[in-house]
Structure 1
Amino acid sequence: MAELTPPRTVVITGATGGVGGALARRLGGDGWIVYAVHRKLADAEALRDAGLTPVLLDVTDEESIAAAADMVGPRLDALVNSAGIMGQGPVELVPAEAWRRQFEINVIGQAAVIRGFLPALRAAGGRIVNLGAVSARVTPPFFGPIAASKAALSALTQALRMELRHQGVKVSLVEPGAMDTAIFTTADKASADIGWAGSPETQHRYASALDAVRTAAARQPLGPVAPAVNAVVRALTARRPDTLYTTGRDGRVLALLRFLPDGVRDRLLLRAMGVTAQAFETSPPAVVG
């Protein structure tokens, strides 16, 4: 009698988010054992009810990463790094605290998770898929923080891919366009909670331009998460996975803009975001009192 092939195993960080959650349900339905990473204890029951195995893990806490790796065991077929936060705003106005948190979660935390699970991935000849963003290659105005962190993640992924090439672990990067998830709402709330850096005069200088960008963003249709999920599944299951997958119509269009001369690309992006010279020609804020 033929031996039964054991189900494949995958750890998915950000499994309570838009892409991570959809991916966890998809792979669970396909017969994978899904270790669904969450940060809040309250999320465990819903993940378990969905047929997933909840794993409490904070990507910024190496002790929790080590505990999760011990729980998963000595062999792991795949790791998908979907966890991340989105910071946005003018480079001049984003506080240092927000920059540090952006990189702590989106870059340093991803590296820590990879380091924690690599022995098990190596033992199984597994795969790593990192979720980036196409803005890492072509960055619109006021998206510097998220794009900078995703550009760093892209560089990390490229180095890792070559370092693991002869160790039996394949590495892919998925760069989606804008998707209909809660990350934009969360980003707006985080910006409001932290506030802006700079003097009132400096903040006022950007007020009209920020309003224009918000208006332009509100008009932009957000794509579904399905193309990103499908790309991750291909990266996990294809015999020879691509090193890079770009998904979403807007993602592919934005990626193509990198071939334009810088000046032309800048003008197109500024126009698309409604940022004109007039947006910065504002009078000083009124002095109260």
Structure 2
Amino acid sequence: MTHTMTALITGAGSGIGRALAIEAARRGYTPILVGRTKSSLLETQALVPDVQARIVVADVTTAEGRHAIVEAAGHRLDVLINNAGTLSVGHLRDTDDAALEQMCATNLVAPMAVTRDLLPALRQAQGRVANIGSVFGDIAYPFFAAYSATKFGLRGFSDALRRELSGSGVGVTYIAPRATRTAAEAEFAALVEPLAMTLDSAEQVAAEAWAAIKAGRRESFPRGKERLFVKVQRLFPSLVDRSVGAQARDTRTLRALEPVSKA
């Protein structure tokens, strides 16, 4: 009996999640599309007409949502991609409790809880967990303080889980894209130029993520200067302190933040 490979993707209604679903279908997986908005998930489903993609309307931050996800995955799951995330940008002093709690709940607590709940199905398939982090999970950026903290946490979770599951047949890949052209770009668009950000397409991120998943790599970083900066950050963090600190103090950066701070 031929086994149909399945890939469950959270945040599949748009952006990187949608691109990950399309790439999954291209590689022969049946995607299980998870998100909070049914209409967005249906749009993603329509983009993969040649596979029997399933949709699960669920909030990954709730126990009820995670129960629905487990029910949809069934007894066997080949790939879990924890992609759902949220972002709030600006001075920490202007970040309210609701934004802090939402980022922590969505970007960090939910991936841990979803992975925990799906471990039996992943073990059955000897599958793989892929956590979509960020370059900001290595290079902590000013004005992205809480977001960076959640991605640092996700990277730590990925490393710890990989070691915990060693010998079980379940692998863990941490994927760290740089800034990406998605709807979330609107949150930081004013900072792209003053912080000299390079933006990738969601399709490029998805292709590189799936290449890392299929190769069984422990982590994946974008090609280019960011990969070098990650190495410098790990070896000589004070150099990054000086460079990024100067960007944070630059008048162009502070002017770009003014509309965000007043929002």
2:233 to 253, 258, 263: 258
Corresponding residue SS for 1:166: coil
Q: 2:94: which partner in 1?
A: 93
2:119 corresponds to 1:114 = no
Give the drift of 1:104: 0.6
Give the drift of 1:246: 0.6
| TM-score for the superposition, normalised by structure 1 | 0.78
Contact 1:38 1:44 in 2 (8 A): yes
Which stretch shows the higher mean deviation, 227-236 or 50-59?
Answer: 227-236
2:25 to 25, 28, 41: 28
Q: 2:15: which partner in 1?
A: 18
- Separation of aligned partners in 1, 2:112 and 2:152: 14
Corresponding residue SS for 2:94: coil
Q: 1:198: which partner in 2?
A: none
2:224 to 233, 246, 249: 249
Q: 2:259: which partner in 1?
A: none
2:193 corresponds to 1:160 = no
Give the drift of 1:174: 0.4
Matches within 5 A, 1:99-248: 99-185=100-186, 187=187, 213=191, 216-217=194-195, 220-238=197-215, 241-248=216-223
Aligned residues: 250
Unaligned runs of 5+ residues in structure 2 are 256-263
Give the drift of 1:255: 1.2
Unaligned runs of 5+ residues in structure 1 are 190-210, 281-289
Kindly report the root-mean-square deviation, in angstroms, between the aligned alpha carbons of the 2 structures: 2.5
| TM-score for the superposition, normalised by structure 2 | 0.85
Q: Deviations over 1:139-193 (max 9, x none)?
A: 12211111001001111111111111122100010011111111122x369xxxx
User: Which amino acid in the other structure matches residue 118 of structure 1?
Assistant: L
2:54 corresponds to 1:53 = yes
Corresponding residue SS for 1:58: coil
User: Which amino acid in the other structure matches residue 13 of structure 1?
Assistant: T
Per the alignment, do residues 236 and 256 of structure 1 end up closer, same or farther by CA in structure 2, a change over 3 Å counting?
closer
The structure with the larger Rg is 1
Corresponding residue SS for 2:9: strand
Give the drift of 1:215: 5.3
